[in-house]
Amino acid sequence: MASVVTVKTEKRPAPDSEDGETVTKKARKLLPSLKTKRAPELVLVIGTGVSSAVAPQVPALRSWKGLIQALLDAANDFDLLEEEESRRFQKSLQEDKNLVHVAHDLIQKLSPRTGNVRSTFFKDCLYEVFDDLECKMEHAGKHLLRSVLQLMESGALVLTTNFDNLLEIYAAHQGTKLESLDLTDEKKVLEWAQEKRRLSVLHIHGVYTNPSGIVLHPAGYQNVLRNTEVMREIQKLYETKSFVFLGCGRTVDDTTFQALFLEAVKHKSDLEHFMLVRREDVGEFKKLRDNMLDKGIKVISYGNEYADLPEYFERLANEICNRDVVTNGCGEHKLYIIYTAQKNKGNT
């Protein structure tokens, strides 16, 4: 029997109105074209916004820059860098230079080749950065993961740009085993794209539990990109299903995501994908919405605060999954009626 990790969190008091009554926030309506989708028609794309909501105390989950800083701190803690090297990396990070190159150089430094053997210092640093994630998951974040898992179990596929395995950890505590995939395992990725591994999470940048599968630059995907069968099956998903972007502020700008989907798919305006974002600045929200429509992506606001996402997505998941149950139930009932009518006709 799976045990459940409990994390104590302080409940924030609800804001009060001037007359002392509790202000009830009006629930944001669900977009009809999204809520009427069936779970098997969806591919959920999990970005850093989800991980940072689940475990906000882990800086490495908040951004690409935060991850590099955490790796650098771990390398310094283990005395893996000379002082001058550490200062150089820190300066590049602060100057916000090309972070992909900074990360690549740091990983190369932590994984020097000695003959045919590659040291595992990078692996040590990764495990230090992502140590004990399950104890750092907060209650609201678990609600978000529960909704993702609910849709997965109803037939939705899941891919992520994140290196962590928070969803897999949460699912294990709920008694569901999810497999972590990365693009180096072509056979399993192909099966995932063909919907034969629905309870697998595809990490397109890799997952920290398999450091050899972590890729930081499009050049690292050459082996996969050369496999036209794998690429075609993955791209077919973008053409035939609806992607739902969660916590993915800049995922469509990600060079890997572009190589896998956007650059290879034509007639993007004919597609119907969805991006759930926070509506903080009206001007920026409108600009993002206009830009994404050209890519076949509808930008939807789940609320004005990050804290609004778990409740919104829970309602959405329930709506979709309950609709699936009703539809399937009605379908079975209809078949039973037809079968009974034919049987009675044969007896007359």
CA–CA dist 315, 338 (Å, integer): 34
Residue with tokens 């009626």: 337
Cα 16 to Cα 13, 22, 24, 305, distances in angstroms: 9, 5, 9, 17
**pLDDT value, residue 173:** 94
Q: Per-residue pLDDT averaged across 230-242, rounded?
A: 88
CB 316 within 8 A of CB 283: no
Identify the residue with better confidence: 228 or 127.
127
> What pLDDT shows up at residue 281?
77
3-17, 68-82, 117-131, 271-285, range with greatest mean pLDDT: 68-82
Query: pLDDT category, 13, cuts 50, 70, 90?
Result: very low
| Three-state SS at 296 | coil
**pTM of the prediction?**
0.81
Give residue 152's pLDDT band: very low, low, confident or very high (50, 70, 90): very high
pLDDT (0 to 100) of residue 311: 93
Secondary structure class of 236 (helix, strand, coil)? helix
Amino acid at 249: G
Contact 238, 122 (CB under 8 A): no
Over residues 266-284, the pLDDT tens digits come to 666 678 999 998 887 788 8
Per-residue buried b or exposed e for 152-176, using 16+ beta carbons within 10 Å of the residue's own CB: bebbbbbbbbbbbbbbbbbbbbbee
The pLDDT of residue 220 is: 60
Question: What is the average pLDDT across 299-306?
Answer: 88
- Map tokens 């060079």 to a residue: 255
The pLDDT of residue 119: 61
Average pLDDT over residues 182-211: 92
The answer to whether residue 241 scores a pLDDT higher than 50 is yes
Q: Pick from 88-92, 147-151, 261-265, 300-304 the range whose average pLDDT is largest.
A: 147-151
pLDDT over 90 (residue 230): no
DSSP 148-209: HHHHHHTT-EEEES-S--HHHHHHHHTT---EEEETT-HHHHHHHHTTS-TTEEEETT--TT
Average of pLDDT values for 314-320? 95
pLDDT value of position 113: 62
Q: Is the model's pLDDT at 12 over the cut of 50?
A: no
User: CA of 65: how far to CAs of 22, 70, 93, 163, 219, in Å?
Assistant: 39, 9, 7, 13, 20
Lowest mean pLDDT among 2-6, 73-77, 191-195, 257-261: 2-6
Quickly count: other Cβ atoms within 10 Å of residue 31's Cβ. 15
Residues 47 and 34: their CA atoms lie apart, in Å, by 19
What is the chain's mean pLDDT, rounded? 80
Model pLDDT for residues 45-73, shown as the tens digit of each residue: 998 889 988 998 898 998 888 999 999 99
